[in-house]
Amino acid sequence: MHEFINHTNHPSARWEEVQRRAAEEYGTIMDIPFPQIPADWDEDAVRRLAEENARVILARSPAAVLVQGEFTYTYALINLLKAAGTPVLSACSERHVSERVNEAGETVRESRFAFCRFRAY
């Protein structure tokens, strides 16, 4: 069976139904949590982690991989997965912002992101 790997900080259990259905068109959703990338790591440490996770992901032969997170790791991982012929996607959403004034007279801004589609890197 084909898998859609979610490699982000957003577990698929909390996705909107429309995003879940779009992912399931590729196969069964499998969450592989996005790693914490320490700010003091150099490029070699980030590349090694990307290589390690690329091996884990590619061993599953996924139909597609959703990758979003820390930019340098994401860039390294996307390049490795694409070089192996694996489709790599980003989730595209629209940001809906509302503002209100609370009891203290402070303006509170709330954002909600509505999934629209997946887009290939």
CATH of the domain at 54: 3.40.50
Q: Output the pTM of the full model.
A: 0.87
Mean pLDDT lowest among 13-27, 68-82, 107-121: 107-121
What local confidence, expressed as pLDDT, does residue 113 receive? 85
pLDDT in tens, 50-93: 999 999 999 999 999 999 999 999 999 999 999 999 999 999 99
* Sheet bearing 107-120, strands edge to edge: 28-31, 3-7, 64-67, 88-101, 107-120
Helix (H, G, I), strand (E, B) or coil at 92: strand
- Print the domain residue range for 80: 3-120
Number of domains in the chain: 1
